[in-house]
Amino acid sequence: NGRFINSLNQLPAIHRAYGEEGHIVLQVQEANEALPDIIHHLSNAGCHIRRLEIQEPNLEAVFLNLTGRALRD
């Protein structure tokens, strides 16, 4: 996953890519616009996508992103 994450962080549409619990998490501004390029990039890199989920950020995710701490810390 590390090589995929490093290459994904180079794509202009991706604000942040990181690994979490065996998954690759991507933070993008506009998922519908970024998704075709992301899928194309991963396919060319030899990554097999087993599942894809788009989530809107919740308050806790925004807080964590801004402060680096969970709400409970």
Work out the average pLDDT over 3-22. 91
The answer to whether the beta carbons of residues 24 and 5 sit under 8 Å apart is yes
The answer to whether the beta carbons of residues 19 and 4 sit under 8 Å apart is no
What's the pLDDT score for residue 20?
Answer: 87
pLDDT, tens digit (0-9, with 9 covering 90-100), for 20-63: 888 899 999 999 999 999 999 999 999 889 999 998 878 877 77
Provide the token pair at 66: 């801004």
Provide the token pair at 71: 């709400």
What is the chain's length? 73
List the domain boundaries for the chain.
2-67
